[in-house]
Amino acid sequence: MALLVQKYGGTSVGSAERIQAVARRVVAAADRGQKVCVVVSAMSHSTDELVDLAAQISSVPHPREMDMLLTSGERISMALLSMAIMELGREAISMTGSQAGIVTDTSHGRARIVEVRARRVLEALDEGKIVIVAGFQGVSTEYNITTLGRGGSDMTAVALAAELDADVCEIFTDVDGVFTADPRIVPEARQLHAVSYEEMLELSASGARVLQLRCVEYARNHGVLVHVRSSFNAEEGTWVREEDERMERAIISGIAHDTSEAKVTIVGVPDKPHVAARVFTPLAREGINVDMIVQNISTDGRTDISFTLPKDDLVRAKPLLDEVATGVGAREIQTDDSIGKVSLVGAGMKSHPGVAADMFEALGDAGINIEVISTSSIRISCIVRATDVEQAVKVVHKKFELPEEAVAREQHPATATDQIKALRPPQSDGEAAS
């Protein structure tokens, strides 16, 4: 019997009516003879509201208590959805992450799943029940409740899909799929039919929050087929899966932006061996993820090191950085949280020179100054002023936009400069729209 994991995001379960609509969709899937395991997020803005509440009580909330607080949001939606399904005459049971066997490491706020003991979920499914699991949470190897990082319900869904050997992991959200840019910023952005794990990894890492980064990594490592689609209609969305020859023809798959990072510059660092290690080791030990790193050419034996890190980690990073600056004899530390990152992602970029130059030209023509650049084989990222981010996304998208008629010429992509294109539909996979 086919097994389906469906995940519904915050907006999709944002009111009693929406929860009832989700219940109807879930029941319809079960009525087609499939076993259905559902993962839910907290209702709309409730996680943000809980974060704000905690901030009113404590400037640095205790990590264990913070996780206790935040996991309550998903408990509300799982119980309500379970009730709504029962109202439709189907048997359902809700489970917390812990009850569903999501076992994590001990790092509160960003715990990693170390094991999924899905016995209880499987038993309930075998008894014909629809199982509703609270997303974004687990229980640590030391028996504390943990959370999986913001957007972590996606992770719960993918991990369960892997463990249950689901045919597909459906991520229902408030847009129709993955687009060539955030459709809220670029209304003319185009929906991608399919995107490879590698491209989605880069898009998520660059800020396209439609799928949490870790869940894409997990899906790739476990070969989970992911289908991102709208919870408001029955249309097919975007498939995230192994790269194939159709995908390789796409030069640019999308543009992502991220305003959640801050820039730190350590000014006047002595230019000698081991200094970089002494700067970054304490941050790594504290679990702070450093992203773009640039070191200038040195003059008079001194250089500047700039890098970005999550704004949320600045408070924790500041004392460590002050200590590092004194330790290595740097002149000063500058922090700047008014920056944003704009990234161009595409697997075909590897073999097409000129993409970076075109991106810089688009930004330059719009009078947008680039402060830091970094690249991977399938991504180019530029740091710009936060106030320029939306305009930057728009002009870069426009620069690379492919006119519809040119899609037909995809067999002969002439240059690297002219392409954002949706991929051709994959072979039929038997997926029925619900």
- Least distance from ligand ASP to the Cβ atom of residue 150, Å: 4
Helix and strand totals (H; E) in the chain? 12, 20
Nearest approach, Cβ of 56 to ligand ADP (angstroms)? Answer: 24
Among 151, 207, 237, 348, binds Mg ion (CB under 5 A): 151
**Residue 182 contact, options ligand ADP, Mg ion, ligand ASP, none, Cβ 5-8 Å cut-off depending on partner type:** ligand ADP
In this structure, the strands spanning 261-270 and 238-241 are unpaired
Contact 111, 104 (CB under 8 A): yes
Nearer to Mg ion, 260 or 417 (CB): 260
Among 19, 26, 29, 41, binds ligand ADP (CB under 6 A): 41
| Distance separating alpha carbons of residues 371 and 391, to the nearest angstrom | 16
Using CB under 6 A, count the residues that bind ligand ASP: 13
266 makes contact, choosing from ligand ADP, Mg ion, ligand ASP, none, with CB < 5 to 8 Å by partner type, with none
> Per CB under 6 A, does 41 bind ligand ASP?
yes
Q: What residue has token string 């100054």? A: 369
Sheet containing strand 238-241, edge to edge, reads 92-95, 130-134, 35-40, 3-8, 168-173, 226-230, 238-241, 194-196
Q: How far is the CB of 197 from Mg ion (least distance, A)?
A: 18
By the rule CB under 6 A, 149 interacts with ligand ADP: no
209 counts as binding ligand ADP under rule CB under 6 A: yes
Choose, by CB under 6 A, the member of 9, 97, 149, 413 that binds ligand ADP: 9
* DSSP H helices in 58-177: 63-87, 119-126, 153-164
Binding flag, residue 390, ligand ADP (CB under 6 A)? no
CB 334 within 8 A of CB 265: yes
Phi then psi dihedrals of residue 417, to 5 deg:
-95, -5
Which position's Cβ is nearest Mg ion? Answer: 151
The interface partner of residue 11, options being ligand ADP, ligand ASP, Mg ion, none and the CB cut-off 5 to 8 Å by kind, is ligand ADP
Q: CA torsion sign, 295 to 300 to 302 to 307?
A: negative
> What residues make contact with ligand ADP under the rule CB under 6 A?
9-12, 41, 151, 173-175, 178-179, 181-184, 208-210, 254
